[in-house]
A and B are shown apart, each in its own frame.
Chain A
Amino acid sequence: MNKSAIAIEKDIDQKSIWQFLKEELKPKGKWLTPFNIISIPIMLLGLVLIVIRFVYGIGSITNLTQEVPWGLWIGFDVVTGVAFAGGAYVVTFMVYILKMHKYHSIVRVTVLNGFLAYVFYAGALLLDLGKPWNVVNPIIGNSFGTSSVLFLVAWHFLLYMLAQLIEFSPAVAEWIGSRRARKILSAMTIGAVIFGITLSTLHQSGLGALYLMAKDKIHPLWYSEFIPILFLVSSIFAGLSMVIFEGSISHKVFFRQISEKNHKAQKGILTGLAKICAGAMFAYFFLQMLVFIHNKRWDLLDTPMGYWYLLEMIGFVLIPMFMYIHSYRTSNIFLVRFASIVTMVGIIINRLNVTVIGFRWDAAVQYYPSWMEIVVTLAVIFTEIWIFRWVINRMPVLSDSPAWVKEEK
């Protein structure tokens, strides 16, 4: 129980909720941190580029071509970002369905991370739409393209954001100090969790299924009818590696918010997650090998794309898998963290190989993202981190719930 929580609780009794919100909106802490100095110019530049994009069209700031209509914004922001957000469904499954109470302290931060990732990556998707004002067409109206995988993905994004909001909402209720709201929202958690896991399995695989019709455009080493299942299995360790990575940073940056008990539990949590990652990566590697052998692609190995494929499979799947195995056997936290970074790089490479690098690899004019696409991507990520930090500094996410929550039970 920390001091600020008591202070907030007292405040609420005296002031109206609006005054409270107004005060909470103000920034807390120092302004000129290194992170702010780097992120603010990039976010401002990104904003300028977004304005240019909406005035002069998508081609004014991107390198997209008629042959490669989806680039970095889809391949990295959406497809890779959603894989990294997969931690939320895996951790809620572990805690609420399997009742692995050891991981309870990381649920909120993981769900928050997942929720923000979806909000921002779906937001980035709007930038990529030629007619973003028509984005409601598949949701309301009579324009349902029900035979489209993208239709499914769009609906699932929307519903899953809602499910994650419900999963996270008790923290908001605790922040504004509403006991009644907390009680009602907490009762909805398990429903949201079950719904959310179901949606996640379908749209994590659905993002891969988007590319099934692009059979002749994706390099055969990355195209197979198993893309959906490969995307689903890899989202498990992609998400958990993100949880490890984000948790390690949060524990340093938001050190003071975390209780003594949770600091001590962190080691056990990280090695536990390392174990699950290693298991999922083994399954994934095995699947990849089955696909490779089943499709008889040996002749493609001795080509530049073949070497790139081998690097991805061995350097960024097999090796980090062994790192994870070694790290939990020796309880080496540094190695867990290092393995999580290598795994995440591997996921980025894999998703980009399917969506950008291997897509039209044989085209006469190759697509490379423009610096402006990269700046906008960075701006989106930085804005997300800003919101994340704002929430962490105010709501009981990493810190313990206020005292009254325990009394209620």
Chain B
Amino acid sequence: MSIDRRNFLKTLGVAGMTLTVGKGFGSANKDGDQTEFNALLFDATMCIGCQSCEKACAKAHGLPEPEEIELDVIKKTSETRRGVINYHTTSKDDVYVRNQCMHCNEPACAAACLTQAMYKTKEGPVIWREDKCMGCRYCMVSCPFDVPKFEYHSANPKILKCDMCHDRIIQGEIPACAEGCGDALIYGTRRELIAEARKRIAAEPELYYPEIYGEDVAGGTGLLYLSPVPFEELGFNTKLQNTSYPELSKGFLYTVPSVFVLLPPLLLAIHEATKSNQPKEEDHE
């Protein structure tokens, strides 16, 4: 369903552009084969805060060694940190939770990107492509999770965020973080992981909060969470909408082709009508 909607949006955009520029490039974007999105499942009941995932990530991407977890300091992903482990004191117990890019099914950042530098791959990861990016930071404005980070102190800045180790995935390997972790962070297809998460909740209802964060939020994400406590307690924004964010600007984009078809003839008609009334005063310049 999500793929269909995405394609529809693209097709419409291309149609709009065709009307606008009078140039067809309809051949673009037909992900014919329906591969399943890959995803990660983080189970907060299992995480012991060992930071193996952070270390593996830093090693895989040539980033500096991660700092230790400190009490009462909520770390955020940054220009040098693609994923972080944070520690929360909650109503049930102390809980460690991992924060990183959610890899939405319909990412706001990719819909926002005017050069397709932010791109939802057919494998599932949302990746950033340097050669296309112009550094406008509209992805950062649009991302409901505030994930993309920008190098403000560089003359040739990059956008940084987790890419779910896309280069490893297409070679058949699994993301570095999931490899580094024991069982708190597992990798698989999104469908399998949701089934697994449901199974865990059903098996131990007293251990789990009965919800999978990421199943519905923002139209579904590629990072799924299980938690022993309500997700607000882990610093999650639970007020985010459950429909996808690109939906929000869809209505506007839909009106563009119509305006482009309807307005010029109308203006021309008014122009002609007002002209015939005063044939002598006609003066364009």
Q: Known contacts A57-B153, A201-B263: does B141 contact A214 (CB below 8 Å)?
A: yes
Q: Known contacts A58-B152, A69-B137, A134-B135: does B285 contact A145 (CB below 8 Å)?
A: no
Question: Out of B17, B131, B267, B285, which one reaches A146, CB within 8 Å?
Answer: B17
Whole-angstrom distance from the CB of A145 to the nearest CB of chain B?
4
Question: Out of A57, A99, A144, A149, which one reaches B275, CB within 8 Å?
Answer: A99
Cβ B283 vs Cβ A409 within 8 A: yes
Q: Which residues of A contact B44 (CB under 8 A)?
A: none
Chain B 138-168 residues near chain A, CB threshold 8 A: 138, 140-142, 144, 146, 149-157, 159
Tell me, yes or no, whether A19 is within 8 Å of chain B by CB: no
Chain B 235-285 residues near chain A, CB threshold 8 A: 237, 239-241, 245-246, 248-249, 251-253, 256, 259-260, 263-264, 267-268, 270-271, 274-275, 277-278, 281, 283-285
Whole-angstrom CA separation of A58 from B137 in the bound complex: 12
Q: Which residue of B lies closest to A125 (CB)?
A: B136
Question: Out of B138, B149, B155, B263, which one reaches A66, CB within 8 Å?
Answer: B149
Q: Which residues of A contact B274 (CB under 8 A)?
A: 97-99
Cβ A131 vs Cβ B252 within 8 A: no
Whole-angstrom distance from the CB of A131 to the nearest CB of chain B?
4
Whole-angstrom distance from the CB of A239 to the nearest CB of chain B?
17
Q: Which residues of A contact B278 (CB under 8 A)?
A: 99
Interface residues on A, range: 35 or more
Tell me, yes or no, whether A212 is within 8 Å of chain B by CB: yes
Q: Which of A33-41, A187-195, A314-322, A380-388 contacts B (4 or more CB under 8 A)?
A: A187-195
Tell me, yes or no, whether A32 is within 8 Å of chain B by CB: no
Cβ A198 vs Cβ B260 within 8 A: yes
Q: Which residues of A contact B135 (CB under 8 A)?
A: 129-132, 134
Q: Which of B52-60, B114-122, B170-178, B222-230 contacts A (4 or more CB under 8 A)?
A: B114-122
Q: Which residues of A contact B115 (CB under 8 A)?
A: 134, 137-138, 143-145
**Could you list 25 A-B pairs, sorted by A, with CB under 8 Å?**
A60-B152, A60-B153, A62-B152, A64-B152, A96-B271, A98-B274, A99-B278, A134-B135, A135-B134, A137-B115, A137-B117, A143-B117, A143-B132, A145-B115, A149-B249, A151-B13, A170-B285, A194-B264, A194-B271, A197-B267, A212-B248, A213-B112, A213-B142, A214-B142, A225-B251
Q: Which residues of B line the A interface, CB within 8 A?
A: 9-10, 13-14, 16-17, 20-21, 25, 28, 76, 78, 108, 110-117, 131-138, 140-142, 144, 146, 149-157, 159, 237, 239-241, 245-246, 248-249, 251-253, 256, 259-260, 263-264, 267-268, 270-271, 274-275, 277-278, 281, 283-285
What 4 A-B pairs have minimum CB-CB distances, sorted nearest first?
A130-B135, A59-B152, A146-B13, A151-B114
